[in-house]
A and B are shown apart, each in its own frame.
Chain A
């Protein structure tokens, strides 16, 4: 009887030890597929940098996965991996508010400068109507004033056609931003081209980014 008890105890010990050994030595596979490239992946405490996708052997059990990249909201998930199991983590990274704003500002800067510098004359009412939607009221109002009351400033002004070459955001906060916009303008009459830069300042009015000011640099 005593021998049986000892045998059971040994078997139990061996069984538990075996299970512990299985858990320690046997592994599964964890595959991380981020929605954008160049991410940093942190699995438990081990970090993998500048990753496009990742497949690694991990011990069975639960693992904490964190995927991050500048300009995006961190993705975090805890997953369980079984023996020999392949677990895929599809990490969908979403732009953070700053990145979303910057995308809007870049497009607004490009569209505004192309609208501002494409004209037959800057005193024409249709030109003013075209640029108005881009601008805050307190920038549109003096612009309209100048176009209406200072036609001498636009005398002999050639018609321009313009395309934007680059937009570089130089300053950003949640409510204000500025960008340097490089443009190439063509004198419609002579075909002469000129490359120049302007600084465009933006303000967030409600949920909408608008142009606050423009000056030549």
Chain B
């Protein structure tokens, strides 16, 4: 009992620190778990199509650029619908993720994504016409033909800039979880005509397919 009395001040001093470290470790473990992202066991159709409900792809293959994460942000209806305010590091965090850079925003559609849609997002230079909203959240299946890997991603952004297309031939992009899973090569070669980082691109025929790696 006397010993316990002696340890009391030490407990007060180190207890919160130990609890904080423990809680932090649990959080980190949770993020790591999210980052690994297991393959889904979807049993429906995994077929793809070049056009879906009249929407067309800018290309059916391309070099996959390495994107950073988008901010999930705070979506407002003022000053315009879907106005999005980037709020700190509010985005998917996983083992492959990087902090948001200064250039990042909520995506070309103004945010409004779920954490999963942001985690597995995809961008191209979509030919919106007058159907921009129809592209939003549409599911795309990317395939790396060299490694026979497929992943379901969600349309959440527009890009890349023509500077990248001209220099490297990169015509689409996704965050680290996507390109790391596919195992695509580094596309930043300075040669727009090579095929490094090549992926095949198609709309998922069955749009109910879950996002993430496919078996």
Contacts and interface: CB of A to CB of B under 8 A. Distances in A.
Contact of A138 (B128, B161, B163): B128
B129 A147 contact: no
Nearest to A116: B162
A216 B165 contact: yes
A217 to B, nearest CB: 10
B127 A153 contact: no
A212 B163 contact: no
B105 A149 contact: yes
Interface string B141-166: 00000000000000000111111111
B130 interface: yes
Contact of B158 (A145, A156, A212, A216): A145
Nearest to A215: B58
Contacts of A152: 101, 103
A157 interface: yes
Given A145-B158, A152-B103, A138 B129 contact: yes
A18 interface: no
A215 B62 CA distance: 13
Nearest to B70: A149
Given A139-B128, A212-B127, A146 B103 contact: no
Nearest to A149: B105
Contacts of B158: 142, 145-146
Interface residues of B, number: 26
A75 interface: no
A213 interface: yes
Interface string B105-132: 1001000000000000000011111101
A203 interface: yes
B36 interface: no
Contacts of B165: 216
A189 interface: no
B161 A122 contact: yes
B215 interface: no
A212 B128 CA distance: 9
B127 A213 contact: yes
Interface string A123-153: 0000000000000001100100111011111
A149 B104 CA distance: 6
Interface in A190-217: 201, 203, 212-213, 215-216
10 contacts: A138-B130, A139-B128, A142-B126, A146-B161, A146-B162, A149-B105, A155-B163, A157-B166, A216-B171, A216-B192
Closest 10 CB pairs of A and B: A153-B161, A154-B163, A157-B163, A142-B158, A138-B128, A213-B127, A153-B164, A146-B161, A149-B105, A153-B160
Interface of B: 58-59, 101, 103-105, 108, 125-130, 132, 158-167, 171, 192
Given A154-B161, A154-B163, 14 more contacts: A138-B129, A142-B108, A146-B158, A146-B160, A147-B161, A149-B105, A150-B159, A153-B159, A153-B160, A156-B167, A157-B166, A215-B58, A215-B59, A216-B166
